[in-house]
Structure 1
Amino acid sequence: MVYSSNLFAYTSHNIYTTTLSILSYVKWNTTTPNLCVVDNAAVANQFQQVSKQLKYPYVISSIKLESFTSNNCSAIFFSHTPIATQQQFLNRYSILSFSMNNKDCELGSAFCLVSKLNGDTSFKINLDALTRARVHVDPRVLLLAKNVENDE
């Protein structure tokens, strides 16, 4: 029997609310964590609006991947960066990562979010990538997900 290192969950929230909610379960060493959105100012703007509306204490920045510095970002969000590029980046940097274009979640980001047609979001957790991120995520986030093997 082959076991997956991925967990899977559904939520009735959109990608922005779901990502910010997950971030709220992270133990940060700063009072204002910075979520850096890679190569997509429109997505960064959406995050800024939702974060403000929900009163989350995050700084949301739009960055170019080639100008990334770990001093400026607490977590990183990939919207359309190819999975291979995500993986190469994450092999160099230990950072909490999210992706909205990585349905399988075998490589790349720790949290892979998929928007459903009805606006709901499902997400998978890549436990290997989460471990490499070297941040403490409250186990209650993991309880939101269940082992994919149980559903297959």
Structure 2
Amino acid sequence: MLRVLSPYSGPRRAITVFFASTAIRRSSVLQRAALLALLGLAAPLCLAAPSASEGDGAALRGMLLGILSYVRWPREPQTLELCVLGASEYAEDLLRRGSLLQASGRRVEVRRAQVDDPGLGERCNVLYLGRLDAAQRQRAFAGIAGHPVLSLSEDDPDCSVGSVFCLELGVAPPSFAVNLDSVARSGVRVHPSVLSLGRRRGEP
């Protein structure tokens, strides 16, 4: 089992990786280090620590852009539409910015959406769920059923409600969990390397 913890754990950013076996070749370690860097789970040391809100916003942006770089849609959109549902402590930074830019040059447009929007599945390539009750979550997932949409949640610690990725922000250090059942139903392809780095649903 591999659990990845990402970077904001104090004045200096750090990352800790626990491997089930110590017999790991150097090439494998280097490959994982490169993947972690792309996922935003590893970052260079900095002289000044960010504030809590700045740190959470930067952690979310890095993790989000990293995850998106390893996701493929059946028909790749020129621009990704990321829709935020519900109140969110961490996605407000994304909404203020309005857009992000992937390393590939593709833009990620960020906007707020409503749970009962009938066009949720058509308009959104990525669904970010903030604080929603159980009924709202069910309606949101019903709205994207049958559409290739990547779902991420910030308020599902057990990662059992339906999101593909469950982000654990506001803790030191942040991390994410993966629901493999939701990956299979999502209609998008996620690179296995990313899946291996997340905590699986049900793992401590």
1:11 aligned partner:
6
Aligned CA RMSD, in angstroms, stands at 3.0
Whether 1:85 and 2:136 are equivalent positions in the alignment is yes
* Alignment match, 1:4: none
Q: Which moves more between the two structures, 104-113 or 140-149?
A: 140-149
Offset of 1:79 from its aligned partner? 1.0
So what's the TM-score if we normalise by structure 1?
Answer: 0.76
Deviations 1:29-85 (A, max 9, x none): 212111111134875551253825977621111111112512210010001112453
Whose relative contact order is higher, 1 or 2, with alpha carbons under 8 Å and at least 6 apart? 1
- Equivalent residue number for residue 125 of structure 2: 74
Q: 2-side partners of 1:16 and 1:83: how far apart?
A: 26
Q: How does 1:134-145 map to 2 (within 5 A)?
A: 134-145=187-198
1:51 aligns with 2:97: no
Once the two structures are overlaid, the 10-residue window that deviates more, 89-98 or 109-118, is: 89-98
Q: CA separation in 2, counterparts of 1:93 and 1:73? A: 9
- In terms of fraction of residues, the more strand-rich structure is 1
Match of 2:81 in 1: 34
TM-score between both structures, scaled by the size of structure 2:
0.59
Q: In 2, distance between residues paired with 1:78 and 1:125?
A: 15
Return 5+ residue gaps in structure 1 as ranges.
Answer: 1-6
Give, in whole Å, the separation in 2 of the partners of 1:68 and 1:26: 25
* % identity of equivalent residues: 27
Q: AA paired with 1:126?
A: N
Corresponding residue to 2:153 among 99, 118, 121: 99
**Number of aligned positions between the proteins:** 144
Change (3 A) 1:79 1:148: closer
